[in-house]
Amino acid sequence: MNRRRVVITGMGVVSPLGCKLDDFWGRLVAGTSGIRNIQTFNVSDYTSQIAGEVIEFNPEDFVEKKEARRMDPFSLYGLAAAKMAVNDSGIDFSACDTTRAGVLVGSGIGGLQILISQMRTLDSRGPSRFSPFMIPQMITNIIAGQIAIEYGLKGPNFCITSACASATHCLGESLRMIERGEADIMVAGGTEGAINELGVGGFCAMRALSTRNDEPTRASRPFDMDRDGFVIGEGAGLLVVEEYDHAVKRGANIYCELAGYGRTCDAYHITAPDSEGEGGARGMKLAYEDAGLNADEIDYINAHGTSTKLNDKGETLAIKTALGENNARKVAISSTKSMTGHLLGAAGGVEAIASALIIRNGIIPPTINLENPDPDCDLDYVPNTAREAKVNACLSNSLGFGGHNATLCFKSIA
């Protein structure tokens, strides 16, 4: 089968570092932390009281006020990011065959804020006062439907929920559908809005979150010896993924090529990664080989890099296995979660955007707060300061609870 080339032509981001592409990129390169004390609810009884909240976001810039009140934050963020991505792409769907344009957007958790509000309604007013919109507001697939309705897109449409690998799986499966001729255009990525009492409380109960509450901007510290857990974040990263000739014909601005995809499973533990990183290593190798590359042709890796003890050590081992020891020591690696926190099901979408911008701009964002390197994490993580570098090919890793591993490979347009 002749595989069609696939490219990125539009991107939209809602993040703790901003809700405009230029703001997000500028702060990423500057090493700015988006982690703050949580403002949206009372966290005095929580062990972790910090997060990467979205603060520069006005829902009414994207949807009418009445409609915004009916939407969970994850849907609002996702629809906003989709609109920004479509606008960035310059695509006119009225001039396209919309039966060959689809949407594949994931969320790890979905409408958790709606669940909280409706449970409060049940407790205070009884079951007769449930909102008739409760179910469609909550379900993880609703955002893919909303985006399709917005633009009249009648092609493939669904969501993938694979915890923190959700967005990366959505982008990878969009790549597969386009290269096989099942679609010409996909709006793909992930969205999450779980900074609330249940989301933070659940991760606190797992002891997964950093408790460095007195210095939030220094709390997310991937690969550092003093890391003590991840910092929860929220937002959305949506991309317009398009068949190359289709994009060229309409004169699209092409960021880079989405060239390879690997997905594996650890089959090891419901939350802990395989300590040897075997599954993640296979995923990376599948991705760069799928792109027609060798290990020594990878210039950069956007690490999953959560700032947890197990992930960072295991991912370091996985990179060494996937690339070989010598190549692993030459490749630049960074974790943008050091600045955004962990956006859960949206993480892979936001990090795909970062990867595309790295290829476009020739600058690698740093891993901030890397002050006391862990001896078990002994690769080049671009500590604390951005680095100018020509990046022709890069990988972006996402690992999710349940042992889900997904890696994308991006290439510059030759």
Residue 164 appears among annotated catalytic residues: yes
Query: Which ranges in 65-111 belong to alpha helices (H)?
Result: 65-69, 73-89
What's the order of all strands across the beta sheet hosting 157-158? 157-158, 101-106, 185-192, 235-243, 6-14, 256-265, 404-411, 393-400, 300-302, 332-334
**393 in Cβ contact with 288 (< 8 Å):** yes
For residue 183, CA distances in Å to 37, 137, 154, 243, 348 come to 43, 28, 10, 8, 22
User: Number of C-alpha atoms within 13 angstroms, CB side, residue 183?
Assistant: 25
Tokens linked to 216: 């939030």
What's the CA dihedral at 94, 186, 91, 240 to 10 degrees? 160
How far, in Å, CA of 52 to CA of 37, rounded? 9
Active-site position among 96, 164, 256, 409: 164
Query: Measured in whole angstroms, how far is the alpha carbon of residue 228 from the centre of its chain?
Result: 22
**406 in Cβ contact with 263 (< 8 Å):** yes
Tell me which DSSP letter residue 344 carries.
G
User: Number of C-alpha atoms within 13 angstroms, CB side, residue 174?
Assistant: 38
Active-site position among 304, 377, 394, 404: 304
Amino acid (1-letter code) at residue 229: G
How far, in Å, CA of 275 to CA of 315, rounded? 9
Terminal alpha carbon distance of the chain? 22
Residue 304 appears among annotated catalytic residues: yes
Active-site position among 169, 246, 342, 404: 342
Amino acid (1-letter code) at residue 112: L
Query: Residue 307 in 3-state DSSP?
Result: coil
**80 in Cβ contact with 59 (< 8 Å):** yes
Residue 342 appears among annotated catalytic residues: yes
Tokens linked to 181: 């001729």
Tokens linked to 135: 């179910």
Tokens linked to 356: 């595309």
How far, in Å, CA of 306 to CA of 315, rounded? 10
Residue 325: CB atoms within 10 A of its CB come to: 9
The set of catalytic residues is 164, 304, 342
